[in-house]
């Protein structure tokens, strides 16, 4: 019975609390009712409308800012922007892979360029914050047309200067001013952009794209050969990697940026600018590839040209759609040659077995290295210096220790690797045979981990 009474009391208290809560919420809604612009979106032919909302948080300025930004985004979404069939962007809109990029970028531009809007009202409750903006349609179009006229005037001047550089066969400046003309009207690339240049009516965006297309297509990269040979472990000097930037009719072009890429790996100083005679040169510090062939490619650095004129996404998208010429050089990787200079003595006598030299010869062949026929013709010289000394006898067995020095140098004398090993032991009933056992052990080490270290030094 007591339990039943307790249950009833708890249930009654819950109903009272719930009722009080609902009553307080109803009272708050009566004191602070939601305005009509929240419950029903305003519809007017005079204004563009933007309503923004953000849930509340501890940071008041942050959630208010988010609500304002949401309202402006909503307002921009009401402004219809279509891509004119006479605009430079028209062909891009019909490519699925770029359609979404263009649409989102255009919407962002509309929001970024908004001005003349006014704050109509704000409202908040315990949970959230609302903002109401509006923008006069007539005012928006007035401001837009005034800004477009100013931008088009600037773009026309830049494009005219670009045409003058085309006449002067100054390709770089012709491209820069053409890119700048597009940048000047970047906010209006969805429109025809009708203007007059040198007494002729043109669509500026389309004409600028056409000039840029012709100028870029007229640049080609040449070289004296389509393939070179390079030895593994050695570098490739600039005289083998010199290219020339010229027009299609062979005239040298100065100031054109290019970028190089090597198929094996990235190289330092991969960017260059053509000199007065159109030449650019590169180098490869070392060829490490074990492949028979690699490639070295040089491209026109359109990104470097654009960076001097614009960072606008749409302008860059338009220009990057233009195919440009490049040059690919085949690099035949040649195996390097190694001369082995081995001096092996056993207990003071010159050894005729050449144990270490023979072991290294076999190892080099299996690793794809060439054994040079002379010291002078070699790319690398591998010097071996070994001698054995007696360490006495133990139970009739002669004990011998081999001391070894291994050195790798380039043909020019540059030292790449040095290793000293002492006390490589040998044991036998015969002293000379004990020394030979030590050389056999040294040969095993040379063929395994020491040779790996030599290769790493050769190709690092």
Pick the CATH number of 337-459 from 1.10.274.10, 3.10.50.40, 3.30.160.150, 3.30.1300.10: 3.30.160.150
pLDDT bracket for residue 14 (50, 70, 90): low
pLDDT more than 70, % of the chain:
90
Q: What is the pLDDT of the chain when averaged over all its residues?
A: 90
Q: How far apart are CA 78 and CA 434, in angstroms?
A: 96
Domain ranges of the chain: 31-138, 139-217, 219-301+323-334, 337-459
Q: How confident is the model at residue 231 (pLDDT cuts 50, 70, 90)?
A: very high
Gap between the Cα atoms of 162 and 156, Å rounded = 10
If pLDDT is split at 50, 70 and 90, which confidence band does 90 have? confident
d(CA 128, CA 63) in angstroms, rounded, equals 9
Closest CA to 73 of 103, 104, 50, 40: 50
pLDDT in tens, 406-427: 999 999 999 999 999 999 999 9
* Calpha distance 166→207 (Å, rounded): 13
Poorest-pLDDT segment among 84-88, 130-134, 195-199, 307-311: 84-88
**Rounded-to-integer distance, Cα 271 and Cα 304, Å:** 9
Q: With bands split at pLDDT 50, 70 and 90, how would you rate the model's confidence at 93?
A: low
CA torsion angle for 432, 435, 437, 440 (degrees, to 10)?
A: -120
Q: What is the mean pLDDT of residues 434-444?
A: 95
Least confident of 10-19, 37-46, 296-305, 346-355: 10-19
Tell me the CATH number of domain 31-138, given options 3.90.550, 3.30.1660, 2.60.120, 1.25.40: 3.30.1660
Which is higher by pLDDT, 157 or 22?
Answer: 157
pLDDT-based confidence at 23, cuts 50/70/90? low
As a whole-number percent, the residues of the chain with pLDDT over 90 amount to: 78
Q: How far apart are CA 135 and CA 117, in angstroms?
A: 4
Q: What is the pLDDT of residue 113?
A: 76
pTM of the model: 0.74
Residue 82 binned pLDDT confidence (cut-offs 50, 70, 90) = confident
pLDDT at position 99 is 52
Helix or strand holding residue 2 (H, E): helix 2-31
Segment 197-215 shows an average pLDDT of: 95
Q: Which helix (H) or strand (E) holds 47?
A: strand 47-55
pLDDT confidence tier of residue 6, bands split at 50, 70 and 90: low
Q: How many CA atoms lie within 13 A of 214 on its CB side?
A: 12
- Does the domain spanning 139-217 belong to CATH 1.20.58? yes
CATH architecture label of 219-301+323-334: Sandwich (2.60)
pLDDT in tens, 96-122: 445 556 666 777 777 777 888 999 999
């Amino acid at each position: 019975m007591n339990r039943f009474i307790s249950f009833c009391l708890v249930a009654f208290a819950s109903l009272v609390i719930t009722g009080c809560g609902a009553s307080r919420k109803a009272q708050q809604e009566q004191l602070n009712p939601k305005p009509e612009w929240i419950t029903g979106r305003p519809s007017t032919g005079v204004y563009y409308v933007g309503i923004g909302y953000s849930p509340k948080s501890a940071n008041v300025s942050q959630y208010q800012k988010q609500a304002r930004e949401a309202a402006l985004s909503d307002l921009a979404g009401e402004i219809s922007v279509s891509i004119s069939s006479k605009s430079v962007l028209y062909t891009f809109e019909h490519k699925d892979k770029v359609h979404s990029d263009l649409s989102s970028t255009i919407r962002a531009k509309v929001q970024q360029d908004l001005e003349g809007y006014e704050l109509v009202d704000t409202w908040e409750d315990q949970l959230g914050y609302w903002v109401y903006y509006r923008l006069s349609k007539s005012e928006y179009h007035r401001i837009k047309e005034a800004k477009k006229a100013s931008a088009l005037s600037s773009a026309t001047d830049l494009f005219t200067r670009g045409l003058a550089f085309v006449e002067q066969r100054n390709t770089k400046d012709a491209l820069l001013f053409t890119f700048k003309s597009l940048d000047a009207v970047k906010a209006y690339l969805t429109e025809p952009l009708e203007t007059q240049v040198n007494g002729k009516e043109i669509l500026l965006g389309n004409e600028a794209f056409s000039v840029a297309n012709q100028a870029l297509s007229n640049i080609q990269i040449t070289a004296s050969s389509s393939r070179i040979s390079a030895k593994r472990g050695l570098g490739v000097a600039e005289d083998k990697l010199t290219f020339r930037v010229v027009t299609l009719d062979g005239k040298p072009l100065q100031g054109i940026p290019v970028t190089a890429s090597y198929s094996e790996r990235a190289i330092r100083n991969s960017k260059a600018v053509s000199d007065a005679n159109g030449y650019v040169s590169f180098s490869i510090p070392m060829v490490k590839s074990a492949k028979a062939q690699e490639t070295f490619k040089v491209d026109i650095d359109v990104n470097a040209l654009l960076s001097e004129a614009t960072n606008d996404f749409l302008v860059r998208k338009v220009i990057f759609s233009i195919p440009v010429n490049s040059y690919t050089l085949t690099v035949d990787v040649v195996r390097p040659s190694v001369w082995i200079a081995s001096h092996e003595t056993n207990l003071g006598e010159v050894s005729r077995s050449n144990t270490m030299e023979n072991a290294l010869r076999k190892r080099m062949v299996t690793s794809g290295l060439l054994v040079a026929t002379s010291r002078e013709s070699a790319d690398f010289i591998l010097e071996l210096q070994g001698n054995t000394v007696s360490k006495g006898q133990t139970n009739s067995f002669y004990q011998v220790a081999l001391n070894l020095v291994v050195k790798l140098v380039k043909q020019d004398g540059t030292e790449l690797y040095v290793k000293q090993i002492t006390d490589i032991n040998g044991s036998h009933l015969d002293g000379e045979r004990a020394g030979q056992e030590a050389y056999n052990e040294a040969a095993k080490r040379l063929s395994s981990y020491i040779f790996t270290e030599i290769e790493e030094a050769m190709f690092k």
